[in-house]
Structure formats: structure tokens, C-alpha cells
A and B are shown apart, each in its own frame.
Chain A
Amino acid sequence: MPVNKKTFPYLLLLPSLLLILLVGIYPLMYLIQNSLFSFTLIRQAEKVFVGLANYRDLLISQQFWSSLLITVIYVVSSTFITFVLGLGIALLLNQGTPLTRVFRSIFLMPMVATPVIVALTWRHIWDFRFGIMNLFLSKVGIKPLLWLADTKLALLSIIITDVWQWTPFVILVIEAGLVAIPEYLYEAAVVDGCNFWKRFWYMTVPHLRPVIGLTLAIRVMDLFRNADLVYVITSGGPGTSTEVLAFSVFKKAFVIFQIGDAAATAIILVILTTFIVSSLIKRWDIEF
């Protein structure tokens, strides 16, 4: 059977579309459907259609808004610190010193470690009694801190852990962007008398713009859905001081097994992440 020239491209796209439908669209539809019901995993036969009640309950619950605030603090702080550190280190590495390769390998190590192993390791590092963080503090005459047992410090501990693991990702992407900027532009700028800051601000940043946007978008997405660090290090405690939304979804789905409630929280998380990431993509002119 002859294939129409117009339909042929669509036929080629079909396998990919089917795959996206299967692994992306169907689960999302299923999630939306579940969010309209009230049921536990084990009692699916007693599924009750509740419409938007799960969303209503969520939006009037104090815990949801508290988790949202914690999530925003976590995402903004961690993204900001990883970005500033990553950019700085990438600029240093880009100077092309003889030890660049060695440093690059060292800096990339945390990123290749398994997240759960990272979380477990850092839980020990933050330990009040045996942790090396308090050991260092005691060496300089500071009293040990309750890193994971103080409501004011627990989130900070998680942010530091995340920064340690994911700054290398920012270094990697920004460095790739820096390498792509033609060297002659800098040479011309030097001849024209531009100092380091002017070169950075008027040449490096505009050239890195899409890379920075992409890095920020990936980091934000990553942080919004990050439940593993919180699960392993604090389980959302002390109290609810580290209960980010992603952990809240996990807890509802796999601890309490309230699937409808978990699905509604997940949908809100998806909407929130999509909205912020879309804004970032638009703001930073990222082209795909």
C-alpha cells in the first residue's frame, strides 16, 4: 500500500507518540483519576468518588501550606547556593590551570554517588554524638549542634547535603557553556580595556543565558520532587520542620496508603513545578 507523503512523517512519529502516551500521559491521567477518589491501597474495592474534595481538604489544611513554605525555602535556597557555587567553581576551572582535570574529577564525585547512600552518609555526618560535623566544631571550641534535632537547623542540614551533591551538576553544565564561548571575544574585550567584571557581566552571562536557564529549570524540577534526602535524613522531622511536599506525597502514598489524598498532592506539585519551570524557560530564552 503506497504511503501518502503527508501521512508518512506522522507514521514515523507514531512509535514515539505511543511510548509517550504509555509512560507519560496514561500515568498522569491515572493520577488525576485517583485524585478524585478516596481510598486506601488495600481497600480499592471501596473506592468512593469524592470529586474535588481531596483538593479542597488539602487547600484548607494548615499542614499543606506549611509544607509548601518549607518546599519553597528548600528549593530557592538550594538552587541559589548550588548555582552561585557551581558558577564560581566552573569559572575557576575554566581558567585552564594544570590541575583543572584533577579538580574536575574530584568535584564530580558527589554527583555520581547513589542518592540514598549520600543521604545515609550525611545522616551520620550530622549525627549529634558521632557525626564528624560536631567533631570539627568541638575541635574549634564550639559546642555540638543538634543538626537534625533542632527545628531551626534540620532544613539547613538537608540543604547543605543537597548542595554538596548537586553543585557538581551545575559546574558540569556551566563549564560546557563556558567552553562554547569563542575565546577571541574575550581577547577583543581585553584589548578594549574591559576588566574581569565587565567581561563577566556583558559577555559571559549573555552567552550563558540559555545554559543558566536550563540549569535552573533542571535544579528546580529536581528539588521539587526530591523526597529521598528528607526521607532518609529526617523523615520530615523534627515535628514537621522538614516536611517538603514531595515527602508528604510519599508519606501519604506509602506510609498511610491514602492514595487519593497522595494523588491530589502530587497533582498540585506537578502543576506548581510545571508553572515555575515554564516561567524559567520563557524568562531565560531556552530553546529546545
Chain B
Amino acid sequence: MKRTFLIVSALSLIGLMLLSSLACAEETPPFKGIEITIPVLAGPSGEAVKKLAPQFEAISGMKVNIEILSHDELWKKMELDAAAKSGNFDAFHINYFKLDEYRNSGAIIALDDFIKGDVSPYSDPKWDDFAFALLKAMSERDGKYYAFPHMGDTRLLWYNKELFAKAGLQNPPDTWVEFTDYARKMTTPDGKQYGAGFEWQKSIYVLDMFQGLLLENGSPFFDENWNSQMNSPAGQASLQFMYDTLNKEKIVPPDVINWGHTELTNGIVTGYVAMADQWHVFIPQAEDPSSSLVAGKLGYALVPGIKQADGTILRRDSLGTWGFAINSASKNPKATYAFLEWLKSPEIDVQYALMGGTSTRVSTNNDPRVIEKFSFAPVAAKSLSEVVMPLPIIPNFTEWVEAAGTEIHKGLVNQLSVKEALDGATDISNKLMEKIGFRKVK
């Protein structure tokens, strides 16, 4: 009896030990010992990713290096990495108009095998929760996904409620006509305060604004045969509006043609401009009392539009979205996918948004916690789903933006007349579309 008891006890003990060792094996993180490096564009979104990465390191055992880089530095490093196929970066942080170039050159891989293979034990990606326009522009090509939409930026109309009240204004303008009228009321003759501000630096900055107006005036950049529509009546009306705003109405600072993100944000946070057509990614900076004189005094609305024949207001603006795509030269693509999927999972995305990152998920932008902290979130979500449109997605995007955006700029700064600038932009655009075989010469 005693012997049987001893045997049973010994066997039970062995069994227990085996079970516990199995349990231990299950708990061993699958990516332990792996190290990945991911570049991220500098800014609140990049900072949020850096802050979140240690959470993933703790559950996965993986080492995640987040390299925050300025815009120019980011592109230079990524282009060299992609060209040399060195695999220094495991993922690329690219914007939607670079996706095709990276995809066509084989610098990035499709995510579908990973999605189907369910490689990550940490999350469910919920792809249908990404804002449709963002997913289309940033990831989906030929029925496959190539990137996780990461930053979803839209421009909103920022307006200084205190200056509005002083001018006897209450609600933000709905149309550009109202906008001009309001801006006149808030522009002082001594040049110390202007009614409005824009980022009208050359190339993509000025083109973003021009596209919004062009679409509101009833025309896209190109027709179905890739003929440029920039010098169409819609184009003329759009650039003329910008020209008049700067040179005739004088309701914007005269150096606004050199303004980019930083200058425009500085303009509004110092009370120099009363309204700004600015990206919502910079709102946390404007609401931070340590860096803003107008924290708590700003309101956010959809950008103004143009009243249509049926009385509705058509509002259009350009989309800004960045995403993470996996480097085809990465030595750890599965591990990289696992991290990105975790990073963009709904719950982590809410944390990311609460840290000031701009989300691409519908659920995040409507999450009560996010709305409580950032009152502008529902307006941004509405703009992302109803207002924004991507710039033309073409293989030689950068070349086109640089050339066409410079021509438009020449019209704004009086280097050329509005018509000459638009004719120049049209000519350049047509030639570039011919070069890539999109436009056929008759």
C-alpha cells in the first residue's frame, strides 16, 4: 500500500513537473531575442510610438528600436536603405503617395500572407475599422494590403474664439466668401493681426490647398485621359482666389508664401492670425499652455467650402496620411508585422491617440476617452470621412508635385501671372503624364 502510494506520488510529481514545464514553454515569448528598427517621422505621432514600444517589448521579449527622424532625414535614410536593400530598417514610414514607388520597386512586401497566417498572438488587426479613404490611399493596391495606415491627418479650420467675439462673430465661416468677410473684420491696419493664415510654401503645401479649391470649383487635377485640368476655369477661379486673398484682400500675412507647418502654427498660437487652415496633428501643441498663448481659446471646424447650385456646401481638402510598410530586405518581417499589428490594434491605437497621435481608426476617433481629451476628434473624424481627398496617386508623384507646385507658387508671388502659372503647371503636368505613359499624345 505504502509502495503504491509512493509510486503514485512520484508519478504525480513527474506529471506536475512536465505540465509546468509545458506551461513555461507556452509563456516563452515567440519573438524573444529579436531586434527590429523602425523609423518614424518626428512629431506627436512619432513620440507616441516611441512611448508605446516598451509595452510591446515587455510582452513579446523583442527589442524595438524607434528612430525618430525629421522629414528630410527620414526620406534620405529610407531611400538609401531601399536602394541599397541593406535592411537597416525593418519597416518604412511612408506617406500614401510614395506607396506605389516603394511597392513597384520591390522595396516593400504585401501584408496579406501575414494577415492570413495569423502570425501575431497579440491582437486582431480589424482592417475594416480603418477609415475607408485612408485605407484606400495608404494601403490597398490590387486587392492586397501593403501598409498599416498610421497617421490620419486632415486640415481643419482653427479659429480664435476670443478674436471672433471681439469682431462680433460667433460661428466659424461655412464658405470661402464668409471666410474672406470674417478675415477682413479681424485684420488690423497696423499689420499686427491678420484675419487668416495658410501654409503656402511652394510645392506640396500650396498644391494641397489648390486641390481643395479646384475640387470645390468642380474639377479634379486630371481628366480621365490624364489631361491636366489646372488651367481650366475651375483652376483659374481657385488660384485667383488664393492670389486675391494674398495680394488684394491682404487678409493674410504677406510672407505667408514662405509658411509651412511651423510658421502657421506659430501664427495662430501667438494670436497673429485669427483663423488657420491647418492640419489637426498640430492641435495638441496649440492647446498646450506652455507653448501657446491661445490654449483653450481655439475652436475647430470643417474647412470652408463653396456653395453649390442646390444650396449645399461642397468642402474638399487634401488628405495627409502616413503608414508603416515592411521592408522587403528586413531580416525579421514576421516580428515586424507582429509589432505593427499590435501598434495599430484598436486598444493600443486609443492609447496612441490619447498621447497626441492622429488616428486612422474610426473607432478611435469616436472613442469617448479620446473625445473627452480632444474635443476636436469628432470633427477630424468627419473631415477624414467626408472632406478629404488624396492628391493624384501617380508613379512620379514627387517630381510632379515639385514641378506643378512651383509653377502655382510663381503665380502667387507675382513671378508669373495667374494664367501663365496655370498654363505652365498644365504643360509640365501633361509632359510628366506622357513620360510615364499615362497620357497618350494624339
* Complex-state Cα separation, A143 to B292, whole angstroms: 28
- Judge if B434 is at the interface, Cβ distance under 8 Å: no
B107 touching A42 by the CB < 8 A rule? yes
Give the contacts of A154-183 with B (CB-CB under 8 A): none
Given known contacts A42-B107, A43-B104, A128-B255, A239 and B415 CB-to-CB distance under 8 angstroms: yes
Residues of B in contact (CB 8 Å), total 33
Q: How far is the CB of B155 from chain A (nearest CB, A)?
A: 21
Q: A42-B82, A44-B83 are in contact. Are A254 and B101 (CB under 8 A)?
A: no
Bound complex: CA of A65 vs CA of B212, how far in Å? 33
Main SS class of interface, B: helix
A11 is an interface residue with CB less than 8 A from chain B: no
A41 touches B413 (CB 8 A): no
* Stretch in contact with the other chain, from B22-30, B109-117, B357-365, B402-410: B402-410
Flag whether A255 is at the interface (Cβ < 8 A): yes
In the complex, the answer to whether B253 meets A258 with C-beta atoms within 8 Å is no
Cβ 8 A contact of A257, one of B72, B398, B409: B398
Is the Cβ of B79 less than 8 Å from the Cβ of A146? no
B201 within 8 A of A: yes
Q: How large is the interface on A (under 10, 10 to 19, 20 to 34, 35 or more residues)?
A: 20 to 34
A79 interface hit (Cβ, 8 Å): no
Residues from 114 to 163 in A contacting B, C-beta threshold 8 Å: 127-129, 144, 146, 148-149, 151
Contacting pair B255 A42 (CB below 8 A): no
Known contacts A41-B83, A44-B83, A235-B202, A254 near B76 by CB under 8 Å: yes
Q: Which B247-298 residues sit within 8 Å CB-CB of chain A?
A: 253-258, 272
Task: Assess the B398–A256 pair: CB atoms within 8 A.
Answer: yes
Q: Which chain B positions have C-beta within 8 A of A42? A: 79, 82-83, 101-102, 105, 107
Interface: A35 (CB within 8 A):
no
Q: Within 8 Å CB of A128, what residues of B?
A: 253-255
- Min CB gap A130→B, angstroms: 9
Closest to A238 in B: B413
CB-CB under 8 A for A151 and B406, given A40-B101, A129-B253 = no
Interface of chain B residues 388 through 442 with chain A (CB within 8 A) = 398-399, 402, 406, 409-410, 412-416
Q: Which one, A40, A146, A237, contacts B202 given CB within 8 A?
A: A237
Answer yes or no: B80 CB below 8 A from chain A CBs.
Answer: yes
A-B contacts, 27 listed (Cβ < 8 Å): A41-B79, A42-B82, A42-B102, A42-B107, A43-B104, A44-B83, A45-B106, A148-B258, A149-B255, A149-B258, A151-B414, A234-B258, A236-B202, A238-B257, A238-B258, A239-B202, A239-B412, A239-B415, A239-B416, A240-B406, A241-B413, A254-B76, A255-B402, A256-B398, A256-B399, A257-B79, A257-B398
A146-B255, A148-B258 known; 7 other A-B pairs, CB under 8 Å? A40-B101, A129-B255, A234-B258, A237-B413, A241-B415, A251-B402, A255-B398
